[in-house]
Structure formats: structure tokens, C-alpha cells
């Protein structure tokens, strides 16, 4: 009888050395920053087809005991304390640092020194959300591009001017250092690590088992244009924003938008800056690119048709704008995330 393949499986996976993943939680930690990535690695172990689970996952607490306080008030129990980890000779493959939303109160000098020292021997070091402050304080982000929760990006840049802070992407890789945005972005980062280690197929299996709508690449924005603009509901621009979304195929110059609202170009620009903290041209580009991404994810349309529907003069113009903002070409994006093949 022929053995039946699991859905999404490509080929039998061979046994490999277990990769030890250590999550260092700095209390009071955001519980989801710990549990989210931990679930990804645990599911990868469960879904892996080799003889042994690929990951050995351990939670480390810097306190005197194994109880790790979380911001929700729901306690977590670590596998070992930092002091026990310091005395251990076990190698760490991937070190993940998670914290709560007040990182400046959590930067114990002993912990920072341990992170700095341990980073020299690990294969990868990562931060979830504002755990980036700990990596920055340890000097690991100097001269590197990094991200964090959008609400803390400005503070990170102020405290650590040598860090190239990018508040937009959900995660960033610079060398062997990975930083991610807030909360759910830690899951996306963990999925990317699994994809590096075990292939895209298994990472997508994990994402499906987590009932994720989409496994997001690092270039995805932390929040959509639509979500970002919702705080302006009821403003003068509400009707115009709807009209823009429905007319992306049209010419949407600043003059056209100003005429639509029967106001001067100068007034329109001031209104966009005041209510949406952007310019009309930048807003139109953001909406167009978000619409392109949505169309690529849904699949079923050629890139030529998507370019035309979203207001780009040619596929080449779309490609240049997409690569500049998203970091990959439309075809690469479609190959990774389309539900149906895109020609």
C-alpha cells in the first residue's frame, strides 16, 4: 500500500540536529509575544515529517524563580531562570527576546550584558515588538535597519540614534539580527524563521493550522491604509477616500482631487496633512499599492489587468513602485501569497 502524503507536504524530510530556540521574556512580558512564536515552533515540530522534532523550545525568565509575570496578569512558567541558563553549556541556535510595553523599565544591566555576550555564539538573535529596545541597548542594532511596534518606533530612534529605525515593516532581517513589530508580527517572524530552516511548504502548513488568513512577508506594512485612515471618519476627506478607492483606474492628480472637493490645491494638501498626516499623492499611491497586494493575494487576474485596474500606466511602472515600497516584485509576491495562480 502506498503511503499517502500529508496535504502540503512536498517530500519526506530527513532527521536533523535539533535547533534550540530560547525565548527570553523580560517581565512584565506581553504574553502573546511569547505564546505566538512558541506556538509556531511547536506546530513546526508537530507537522515535521522527520524522525525527530526540529526544535527544542525553552522559555527563560530573568527573575529568581520560574514564574514569569505578564502584562495581562496571567502568569507564565519558564523552563529555567537566566542564572540557570548562564551556567548551562547548551548551545543556543535562535535567541528571541520579548518584553512588555515599557521596555525602558525592563533593561536590567545583567540581562543586557548576557544578551550581548550570548549574541556572539547564536546563529540568530531576534526581538519581538519592543524587545528591540533590549537588542539596541546591547549594541546589537548599531548601524542596522530595525523595526518595532509603530507606537514605539520614534522613541527607539530617539534613544538609540545609531539604529536605522523603520516603523513600517512587520519584521526586518539585517544580517543574523531580526526585529519585528508588535504582537501578531511575532508570529509572522517565527513563520519566516521556520521557512528558512524547513522550507516554505512547512511554514505554510503551520500558518494554515494557526488559521491565519495570510503568511505576511517582512515588507508588509504594520497596518493597512484603510485602517490607518479610519480615525478620520466623519472628516471632510471621508467621501473623497471612498471615491479614490472606487476610481483607482482614473487619473488621480492633486488638481483632480481638489476639484472633487471644490477646494484649492493648497487647502487640500493642508487637509490631508492635518487629518491623515500624509500628502494626497502619497495617499493615492498607498491605496493603489494596497489594492495591488489584495488583488495579487486573491489571484485569478494577470498582472497586466491588475496594473490597469489600479491606475498604473504599465506593468513596468507598477513593478518599480511595488519593489520600491514592498521590497519584492509583484510576480514574486503573487508566487508566495496568491490563493490562485496569477499569470
Residue tagged 491604509 (cell numbers): 225
Residue tagged 543586557 (cell numbers): 112
Burial class (CB in 10 A: 0-12, 13-18, 19+), 54: buried
State yes or no: pLDDT of 230 exceeds 50. no
pLDDT of residue 128: 95
Reported as a pLDDT band with limits 50, 70 and 90, residue 235 is low
CATH fold of 19-209 reads: Rossmann fold (3.40.50)
- CATH code of the region 225-337: 1.10.10.60
pLDDT of residue 338: 63
pLDDT of residue 327: 73
Reported as a pLDDT band with limits 50, 70 and 90, residue 13 is very low
* Calpha distance 36→187 (Å, rounded): 5
State yes or no: pLDDT of 289 exceeds 80. yes
Grid cell for residue 254: 492633486
Per-residue pLDDT, averaged over 286-314, amounts to: 89
Per-residue pLDDT, averaged over 244-260, amounts to: 93
Considering only residues 101 and 257, tell me which one the structure prediction assigns the higher pLDDT.
257
Per-residue pLDDT, averaged over 54-62, amounts to: 97
Backbone phi, then psi, for 214, in 5-degree steps?
Answer: -160, 140
State yes or no: pLDDT of 233 exceeds 70. no
End-to-end CA distance of the chain: 38
pLDDT of residue 222: 47
State yes or no: pLDDT of 174 exceeds 80. yes
Q: How many CA atoms lie within 13 A of 229 on its CB side?
A: 24
**What's the mean per-residue pLDDT of the chain?**
85
pLDDT of residue 220: 53
State yes or no: pLDDT of 271 exceeds 80. yes
pLDDT of residue 10: 43
Considering only residues 281 and 232, tell me which one the structure prediction assigns the higher pLDDT.
281
Which of helix, strand or coil describes residue 96? strand
What number of residues does the chain have? 343
In the chain, residues under CATH classification 3.40.50.880 are 19-209
Reported as a pLDDT band with limits 50, 70 and 90, residue 139 is very high
Considering only residues 328 and 63, tell me which one the structure prediction assigns the higher pLDDT.
63
Considering only residues 271 and 277, tell me which one the structure prediction assigns the higher pLDDT.
271
In the beta sheet, which residues pair with residue 81? 61
Q: What percentage of the chain carries pLDDT values higher than 70? A: 85
Among 121-130, 219-228, 307-316, name the one with the lowest average pLDDT: 219-228
Per-residue pLDDT, averaged over 185-205, amounts to: 90
In the chain, residues under CATH classification 1.10.10.60 are 225-337
Per-residue pLDDT, averaged over 123-132, amounts to: 96
Among 1-10, 65-74, 105-114, 313-322, name the one with the lowest average pLDDT: 1-10
pTM equals: 0.67
Which of helix, strand or coil describes residue 94? strand
Does 28 sit behind a cis peptide bond, omega within 30 degrees of 0 on the bond before it? yes
State yes or no: pLDDT of 81 exceeds 60. yes
Residue tagged 517530500 (cell numbers): 11
Asked if residue 192 lies in contact with residue 171, where contact means CB atoms within 8 angstroms, the answer is yes
| Helix orientation angle between 330-337 and 280-298, rounded to the nearest 10 degrees | 40
For the chain, helix, strand, coil in percent to 5 are 45, 15, 40
Contacts of 118-121 spanning 24+ positions with Cβ under 8 A: 118/92, 119/95, 121/91, 121/92
pLDDT of residue 95: 98
The DSSP-derived string for 107-172 is: --HHHHHHHHHHTTT-SEEEEEGGGHHHHHHTTTTTTSEE---GGGHHHHHHH-TTSEE-SSBSEE
Considering only residues 253 and 229, tell me which one the structure prediction assigns the higher pLDDT.
253
CA distances from 137 to 100, 103, 112, 149 (A): 15, 10, 7, 17
Reported as a pLDDT band with limits 50, 70 and 90, residue 337 is low
Reported as a pLDDT band with limits 50, 70 and 90, residue 242 is confident
pLDDT of residue 217: 53
Residue tagged 476627506 (cell numbers): 237
Amino acid at each position: 500500500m502506498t503511503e499517502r502524503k500529508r496535504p502540503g507536504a512536498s517530500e519526506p524530510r530527513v532527521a536533523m540536529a535539533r535547533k534550540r530556540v530560547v525565548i527570553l521574556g523580560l517581565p512584565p512580558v506581553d504574553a502573546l509575544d511569547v505564546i505566538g512564536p512558541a506556538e509556531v515552533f511547536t506546530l513546526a515540530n508537530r507537522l515535521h515529517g522527520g524522525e525527530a522534532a526540529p526544535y527544542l523550545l525553552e522559555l527563560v525568565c530573568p527573575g529568581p524563580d520560574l514564574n514569569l509575570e505578564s502584562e495581562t496578569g496571567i502568569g507564565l512558567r519558564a523552563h529555567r531562570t537566566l542564572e540557570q541558563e548562564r551556567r548551562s553549556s547548551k548551545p543556543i541556535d535562535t535567541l528571541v527576546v520579548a518584553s512588555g510595553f515599557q521596555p525602558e523599565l525592563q533593561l536590567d544591566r545583567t540581562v543586557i550584558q548576557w544578551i550581548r555576550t550570548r549574541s556572539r555564539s547564536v546563529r540568530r538573535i531576534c526581538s519581538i515588538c519592543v524587545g528591540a529596545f533590549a537588542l539596541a541597548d546591547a549594541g546589537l542594532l548599531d548601524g542596522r535597519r530595525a523595526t518595532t511596534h509603530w507606537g514605539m518606533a520614534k522613541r527607539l530612534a530617539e534613544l538609540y540614534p545609531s539604529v536605522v529605525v523603520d516603523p513600517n515593516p512587520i519584521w526586518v532581517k539585517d544580517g543574523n539580527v531580526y526585529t519585528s513589530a508588535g504582537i501578531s508580527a511575532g508570529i509572522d517572524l517565527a513563520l519566516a524563521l521556520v521557512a528558512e530552516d524547513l522550507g516554505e511548504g512547512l511554514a505554510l502548513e503551520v500558518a494554515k493550522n494557526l488559521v491565519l488568513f495570510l503568511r505576511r512577508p517582512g515588507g508588509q506594512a504594520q497596518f493597512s491604509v484603510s485602517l490607518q485612515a479610519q480615525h478620520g471618519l466623519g472628516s471632510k476627506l471621508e467621501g473623497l477616500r471612498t471615491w479614490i478607492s472606487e476610481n483607482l483606474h482614473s487619473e488621480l492628480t492633486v488638481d483632480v482631487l481638489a476639484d472633487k472637493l471644490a477646494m484649492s490645491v493648497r487647502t487640500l494638501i493642508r487637509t490631508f496633512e492635518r487629518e491623515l498626516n500624509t500628502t494626497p499623492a502619497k495617499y493615492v499611491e498607498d491605496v493603489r499599492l494596497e489594492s495591488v497586494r489584495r488583488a495579487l493575494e486573491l489571484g485569478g487576474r494577470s498582472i497586466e489587468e491588475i496594473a490597469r485596474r489600479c491606475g498604473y500606466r504599465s506593468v513596468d511602472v507598477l513593478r518599480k513602485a511595488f519593489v520600491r515600497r514592498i521590497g519584492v516584485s509583484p510576480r514574486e509576491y503573487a508566487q508566495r501569497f496568491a490563493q490562485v495562480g496569477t499569470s
